[in-house]
Structure formats: C-alpha cells, structure tokens
C-alpha cells in the first residue's frame, strides 16, 4: 500500500480523504533533519508552512513521487531538483486567497486606526485621551497592489467597498485584465510607490523579488504611506524598513511575514508604528480545510495514476 506523510498539523477532513486511499502518518511539525531520517518509505508528502523538502531530503526518498503543499509558496521546496528526479510538486494557490485578502485589511486598518496602541492604552488604564489615537481613513486613499494575481485581485474587490483608488504593478498581468478589477496598471514599481497611500505586496519569493522593497524604494514613498506585507518576509529589506519607520520615511507597516521568523531584532519589535502577526494570514478554519483537501486531491491523483 502506498504511504503518505503529513508533516505538519492540517485539517482532519483532508487527512481522512487520504486515508481512504493510502496508509497515512501525521506529525505536528517536522524539521529538515527529522524528515531526512524518516522520509525513505513514503510515496507522497503533504507539507504546509515550515517543512523544507531539500535536495538532501529527496536523495533519501527513493519512493517519493509527489509533494503537495497545502498553501501557495513553494520556496521551501527545491522544485528544480524535484523535477530532475521526476517528483511532482504542486501547491494550492487559490485555497487561502480569501483569508489572506481579509487579513490585508485587518492589518491595514489596525495600523491606520492605531488599534493595537489604543487597546494597550485602554487595558493599562492609563486614561481616556482619545486625541492620542486619531487615525487615517481608507476611503478615497490610493491603494498600490504589488502583484495582481489571485490574492491581489481579491484585495482589489474588497478595496472597492472602502472606496479606494486602485493602482497595480505586475509585469505579468495585462492592463485590460487589471481593469476588470478596477485596478489601473502602472508601468513601474517606482511609479506605484510614489502615488500610493497604502501598499500591499502579493508576489512569490524568487530571485527577482528578493528585497523588492529596500532603501531606494522607501525613499520614493509618501511619508504618510502604510506598507502591508502578507507575502514573504525577504521581499522586504527589513533593516531598510526599520530605518524608514524610525526616520518617518513612511508612517507605518502591517507585517505578517519577516526575513527571519520569528523576528528577533529588538529594535524592530519595539516599533510602535508596526502591527505584527506570526505568519497567520492564511490561518482560518476555512482556508485550512480547503488547503488540506486540495493537497490531498493532488496526492490521490498522482499516486493512483
């Protein structure tokens, strides 16, 4: 009987779907070293956020035929090496798009309306000085969407409800396609950054997007601008972002992802104009269920051919 390893905590419905076809083992979390030691008998892997499927792992997996990522990014899988070994690697890019798009607005509003600071102030019983927490409306502001794919489009749909002007930068998407979502295509990232009141990032982590936003880009942004990143941490140069936030080059940031996770820079963690969450943008019951079921369906399809 074919064997499948689920390397992280995922929704039971998808695991039950796998068990109808295969022998399935589950783990709450699996390091690369652990995976190297245990991967040899498995025909399929279902991974989520933290599992690294490296060349070394695949070299110890003679039976491995498929790796299914319950989620979108594949930066923790050596995809090229997998292809060279005939291992199918697939993800579930549409399963969590609603959850991530909604989280963008949670972070955007939390920063713009100083929700976290106000909450802490009230809980500390420091007083009732409402003027300390005067914020900024989203209405009639310009939202710059960097990456107008699945998630970027869902963000655009919701932004129209806030009566925002939408501009986008994505060299892979035509202007006509962006216009379907009321997004005006701009020809350069620099043009977008100079106009946007809010910037939200939705790109994969590849060589071309590493430190896509760094010191030069922060210098182009409005001093009142707010950055939201729910994509991948290394897309933003975190040291440059720290300086930009400290020196008032931009007004604030809402971050679900970081260059090093969890973030360890005490200076960065002390910033009051940043709202942070621990890489949970896709973390809803609905998204977890869809991701797990879709990943299970990928594995079933590949192992029952």
Task: Quote the CA–CA distance of 158 and 161 in Å, as a whole number.
Answer: 5
Task: Quote the CA–CA distance of 20 and 294 in Å, as a whole number.
Answer: 15
Contacts 24+ apart (CB under 8 A), 164-172: 164/138, 164/139, 164/140, 164/198, 165/140, 165/141, 166/142, 167/142, 167/143, 167/192, 167/195, 167/196, 168/144, 168/192, 169/144, 169/145, 170/145, 170/146
Q: Is 302 a catalytic residue?
A: no
Catalytic residue among 52, 153, 202, 232: 232
Alpha carbon of residue 4 to chain centroid: 26
Continuous segment of H or E residues that includes residue 274: strand 274-276
Count Cβ neighbours within 10 Å for each residue of 171-194 and write b for 16 or more, e otherwise. eebeeeebeebebebbeebeebbe
Task: Quote the CA–CA distance of 133 and 124 in Å, as a whole number.
Answer: 15
Question: Cβ–Cβ contacts within 10 Å for residue 267, how many?
Answer: 9
Q: Is 150 a catalytic residue?
A: no
CB 12 within 8 A of CB 288: no
Catalytic residue among 83, 261, 272, 286: 261
- Assigned token pair, 211: 């430190």
Alpha carbon of residue 48 to chain centroid: 12
Q: Is 285 a catalytic residue?
A: no
Catalytic residue among 52, 153, 202, 279: 279
CB 33 within 8 A of CB 54: no
Catalytic residues: 232, 261, 279
């Amino acid at each position: 009987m074919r064997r499948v390893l689920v390397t992280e905590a995922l929704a039971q419905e998808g695991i039950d779907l796998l068990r109808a076809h295969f022998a399935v083992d589950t783990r709450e979390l699996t390091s690369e070293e652990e995976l190297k030691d245990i991967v040899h008998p498995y025909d399929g892997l279902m991974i989520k956020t933290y599992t690294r499927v490296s060349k070394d792992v695949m070299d110890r997996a003679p039976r491995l035929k498929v790796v299914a990522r319950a989620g979108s990014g594949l930066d923790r899988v050596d995809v090229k090496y997998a292809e060279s070994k005939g291992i199918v690697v697939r993800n579930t890019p549409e399963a969590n798009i609603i959850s991530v798009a909604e989280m963008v607005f949670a972070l955007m509003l939390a920063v713009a309306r100083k929700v976290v600071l106000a909450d802490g102030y009230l809980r500390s019983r420091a007083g009732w000085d409402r003027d300390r927490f005067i914020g900024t409306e989203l209405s009639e502001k310009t939202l710059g969407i960097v990456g107008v794919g699945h998630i970027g489009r869902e963000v655009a749909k919701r932004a129209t409800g806030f009566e925002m002007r939408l501009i986008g930068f994505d060299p892979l998407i035509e202007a006509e396609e962006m216009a379907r979502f009321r997004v005006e295509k701009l020809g350069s990232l620099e043009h977008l950054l100079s106009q946007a009141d809010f910037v939200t990032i939705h790109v994969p982590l590849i060589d071309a997007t590493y430190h896509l936003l760094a010191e030069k880009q922060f210098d182009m942004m409005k001093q009142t601008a707010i950055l939201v990143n729910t994509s991948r941490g290394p897309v933003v140069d975190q040291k440059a972002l720290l300086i930009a936030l400290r020196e008032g080059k931009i007004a604030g940031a809402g971050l679900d992802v970081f260059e090093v996770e969890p973030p360890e820079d005490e200076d960065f963690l002390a910033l009051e104009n940043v709202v942070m969450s621990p890489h949970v943008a896709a973390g809803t019951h609905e998204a977890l269920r869809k991701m797990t079921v879709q990943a299970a369906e990928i594995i079933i399809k590949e192992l029952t051919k």
